[in-house]
Amino acid sequence: MLNTANELKSLQAVAPALDVERLRRDFPILRRRIDGQPLVYLDNAATSQKPQVVIDAESHYYAHCNANIHRGVHHLSQEATEAYEAARDRVRDFIHAPDREEIVLTHGTTESINLVASSYGQGLQAGDEILVTEMEHHSNIVPWQLLGQRRGTVLRVAPINDAGELDIERFAALLNRRTRLVAISHMSNALGSINPLATLIELAHRAGAVILVDGAQAVAHLPVDVTALDCDFYAFSGHKLYGPTGTGVLYGRRALLEAMPPYQGGGDMIRQVSFAGSSWNDLPYKFEAGTPNIAGGIGLGAAIDYVRKIGLPAIAAHEADLLADATAQALAFPGLRLIGTARDKGAILSFTLDGIHPHDVGTILDTRGIAVRTGHHCAMPVMEHFAVPATVRASFALYNTRPEVDALFRGLRQVQEVFA
């Protein structure tokens, strides 16, 4: 596991350079033109585009082996089950989890977090504390607020500094014997800040708390090793990892998952059902009620294969280069304010332009074929910290290029001309 930025940088230094032009051909959507101009897709933190192999994996399932899984004796059902379970193995291997039973397949990060809040949360009492940070996405805030309404748990918030970095001293000071669970993002979606997980996990464990990591933004950019990290839960989505929407993962430490009650009731999650009472299936199926997104899961497996073939260190090095270029241009751009200048940062550039609302920036860039995200990025507390209603966010992926970064800044110059 790469616990420090330095370790990652040394890996990046030996990573082969990406042949981005060749990789771009793997993504059919990148051939699209928007109003006659080539698409410049810089909204990867919202969702990444899908390579043909992922699209093919989904359509192959529907065209050749569509059947429900885990319960048919017929040929198709067995093929579908094998393909779906093979995807689970790929996920396990990808994040270095000890056992496949610890990989719960969900519909996304949001569901993964809600699963923990709902199920693990049943063991919490009034007055127990949950510690989050100020940089969390709404999906790592609201489930804990809902839990508080049900169980009387108390939500504590560790603040960030003006660079958008977690204040580790304040984080440590907020941990106490009532802290039962820490829920923290690996990488902030609004700021790009990467949290020093090894330190935070050690602090949480020393306080006797379990820790859930929201890896939605991180998994496409950083190698993740849940065993080396020693985290208790790790949640992420497939669709930001070049995989299908409606796919997600919850890694959970076996002992915790075994002790937790089911999340939803239904088919597949049971061992035996009678009106006198029912018993639950083994892990991970206890947490997988109903027919899952089978095609999506298979597509996620293909996405992981795709990313591993290219290699996350090489992807991270390429994205670090794009971010460095974009940051340098941003710093030299008059009237531009960067929101999020953490020392350890992923490929996200969040900013505002003086006197121009982000929505107007987004509309004008869109007429040039440039897709960025504008708004609060489901992180309203972050907007409040920086006293802005919204930001413009450009986020990079393995297929973005330096000429696309240049196109972004040419677009921003036009925005300023419109409002001159």
Partner 1 sequence: MSAELRNLYQEVIVDHSRRPRNFGPLPEASQQAEGFNPLSGDQLVLYLQVADGIIREARFEGTGCAISTASASLMTEALKDCPTADAEALFASFHAMLAGERQATDRPLGKLEVLAGVREFPSRIKCATLAWHTLLAALHHENQPVRTE
Count of residues near partner 1 by CB under 8 A: 19
Q: Judged by CB under 8 A, which stretch of 104-112, 227-235, 281-289, 355-363 contacts partner 1?
A: 355-363
Question: Are 182 and 209 in contact, with CB atoms under 8 Å apart?
Answer: yes
Question: Are 261 and 122 in contact, with CB atoms under 8 Å apart?
Answer: yes
Q: Say whether residue 363 binds partner 1 (CB under 8 A).
A: yes
Span 225-244, contacts to partner 1 by CB under 8 A: none
Q: Say whether residue 146 binds partner 1 (CB under 8 A).
A: no
Question: Cα separation of 135 and 137, whole Å?
Answer: 7
Residue 104-133 contact track with partner 1, rule CB under 8 A, x = bound: ------------------------------
Interface residue with partner 1 among 25, 150, 359, 402 (CB under 8 A) is: 359
| Strand intervals (E) in 134-252 | 154-158, 179-185, 210-214, 233-237, 248-252
Interface residue with partner 1 among 56, 344, 360, 406 (CB under 8 A) is: 360
Instruction: Rank residues 314 and 364 by Cβ distance to partner 1 and give the closer one.
Output: 364
How deeply is 305 buried, as exposed, middle or buried, from its count of CB atoms within 10 A (0-12, 13-18, 19+)? middle
Q: Say whether residue 364 binds partner 1 (CB under 8 A).
A: yes
Interface residue with partner 1 among 357, 401, 406, 409 (CB under 8 A) is: 357
Q: Say whether residue 213 binds partner 1 (CB under 8 A).
A: no
Q: Which residues pair with 33 in a beta bridge?
A: 38
Instruction: Rank residues 46 and 383 by Cβ distance to partner 1 and give the closer one.
Output: 383
Q: Say whether residue 335 binds partner 1 (CB under 8 A).
A: no
End-to-end CA distance of the chain: 49
Q: Say whether residue 355 binds partner 1 (CB under 8 A).
A: yes
231 is catalytic: no
Q: Judged by CB under 8 A, which stretch of 122-130, 252-260, 329-337, 352-360 contacts partner 1?
A: 352-360
Angle between helices 358-366 and 402-418 (to 10 degrees): 120
- Output the CA–CA distances (angstroms, integers) from residue 260 to 33, 222, 229, 263, 314, in the order listed: 49, 29, 22, 9, 38
Helices (H) and strands (E) in the chain, counts: 15, 17
Interface residue with partner 1 among 20, 34, 46, 356 (CB under 8 A) is: 356
Instruction: Rank residues 286 and 373 by Cβ distance to partner 1 and give the closer one.
Output: 373
Instruction: Rank residues 201 and 415 by Cβ distance to partner 1 and give the closer one.
Output: 415
Instruction: Rank residues 41 and 242 by Cβ distance to partner 1 and give the closer one.
Output: 41
Question: Are 106 and 87 in contact, with CB atoms under 8 Å apart?
Answer: no
Question: Cα separation of 58 and 236, whole Å?
Answer: 20
Question: Cα separation of 189 and 393, whole Å?
Answer: 9
Query: Which one of the listed residues 146, 270, 378, 388 is annotated catalytic?
Result: 378
Task: Give the burial string for 88-119 (b: 16+ CB within 10 Å, else e).
Answer: bebbbebbebeeebbbbbbbbbbbbbbbbbbb
Angle between helices 75-94 and 294-310 (to 10 degrees): 40
Q: Judged by CB under 8 A, which stretch of 153-161, 288-296, 330-338, 358-366 contacts partner 1?
A: 358-366
Instruction: Rank residues 169 and 417 by Cβ distance to partner 1 and give the closer one.
Output: 417
Is 393 in a helix, a strand, or coil? strand
Per-residue tokens: 35: 């109003």
Instruction: Rank residues 20 and 34 by Cβ distance to partner 1 and give the closer one.
Output: 34
Q: Judged by CB under 8 A, which stretch of 59-67, 149-157, 234-242, 356-364 contacts partner 1?
A: 356-364
- Output the CA–CA distances (angstroms, integers) from residue 78 to 58, 66, 91, 284, in the order listed: 17, 10, 20, 18
Interface residue with partner 1 among 375, 386, 401, 409 (CB under 8 A) is: 375
Residue 381-420 contact track with partner 1, rule CB under 8 A, x = bound: --x-----xx-----------------------x---xx-
- Give the interface with partner 1 as residue ranges (CB under 8 A): 35, 355-360, 363-364, 367, 374-376, 383, 389-390, 414, 418-419
Residues labelled as active-site residues: 378
